Structure 1
Amino acid sequence: MNKKIHLKVNTDLTASPQVLSWFEQMNQPPIPDKEIWWQCQTLLMEGFTNIVEHAHRNLPIETPIEIEAVRFEEYIEIRICCQGEPFDLEQKLRQTTEFEENDQGRGRGLKIMSTIADKLSYEPIADNRYCLFFIKYY
């Protein structure tokens, strides 16, 4: 039972409700563990927000963000593809302090994603684009 869906939105945080409602179709039939589903939604929204606020910070609002989700029997994959700058995710995670010490809010989204995701990467893809990638097992 593989299910694959795509969405293309502008670089705009007001698209967040649209992204979340689009993603709902991944939960049909419902994932038995509601906490895992909530974590998948959190990964998607943290990733989307991060792309808008950081990777696409200096780009026009019309710059597309492409999102793909694939549901397999035991896990969900999420890809958020953007036109952001090169960025060393592993190094950034090492530089970011833990939640308790992090009162300036910088990098918190990355820490949240790295804590929740079973796999997390930010890799170059075709057309000078980058892809934020997650896997979450259930």
Structure 2
Amino acid sequence: MACLGWGSAAWKVECRDRFIGWQPRTREANLYKVVNNVRFLILNWVSLEHLASKLLSANIRMLPGNWQAFYRHPVALLETFVDTTRFQGTCYRAANWVYAGPTKGRGRYDRYNRCMEPVKAVYLYPLGKRFREALHG
């Protein structure tokens, strides 16, 4: 019916880092506390009202405990990238994710500032009121 995948955070994202208030050294020391929603797929034949935001919410309730148990460190913030040429990010907004801004279109493997990828919308989901303190500690 659906698939959600989580993985390591993107190394540098200007709007995310500004949202957190990170300087380069702080980001390097604490990036492991950010988890990226690398895949979210609902099969075409599935049609249930509000399914996407409900799946996100249910998954987010379980993720911090499961991540801590498997990787032995806490999670403070979730991130995702939405290709706005194909999607609007509606399910993320409905699940209370915060729009942080656009990417620059550089992509994961751009080492020469060529900006060859589509610009994506960055959405963030803080896991607690004191997430900034956790990401600066």
Q: TM-score, normalised by structure 2?
A: 0.30
